[in-house]
Amino acid sequence: MSVSEAKIIADLASRLTARGLTVATAESLTGGRVAAALTSRPGSSAYFQGGVVAYANQAKIDLLGVPAEVLALKGAVSEECARAMAEGARRRLGTLLAVATTGIAGPDGGSPAKPVGLVWLATATDRDTRAVGRFFPGDRATVTRLAVRAALELLSEAIA
């Protein structure tokens, strides 16, 4: 974990705890790394309720309630899927906030329409759901690392 990532996590932990907010994660390409980052600090049980690593499409449907139609029409790597994942994690884990990640870390699996490095992130709150698409060039480890940081930053913006 970089110094700047540790600072983001410390700030998130402080703000979440001070406001009595709870958070959940819904992760695909990051494989639980966002949850691991959020729980890396002592006292994280005050704000972190849990996370779902839903790598397979069926897991996204069964565990997070992502509509099968979203996956069939838009795919797992899409704004719609990221939104549904975040909303599903928030609903299923009973939190005030949730953050979701989905994308293509590579080295395989990309296409011209959805290249390796394409990542969709979303946050769901009691007010709204926000999704952003990013492209992170690099190998699998780099794409994943940058996606975790982007998820933490998006979560930070959601509680600003």
pLDDT digits (tens, 9 = 90+) for 12-24: 999 999 999 999 9
Q: What does the alpha-carbon distance between residue 89 and residue 109 come to, in Å, rounded to a whole number?
A: 25
Domain 3-158 has CATH 3.40.605.10: no
Domain ranges of the chain: 3-158
- pLDDT confidence of 53, banded at 50, 70, 90? very high
Bridge partner residues of 129 (DSSP): 124
pTM over 0.95: yes
| 17 and 46 Cβ atoms separated by less than 8 Å | yes
| 70 and 80 Cβ atoms separated by less than 8 Å | yes
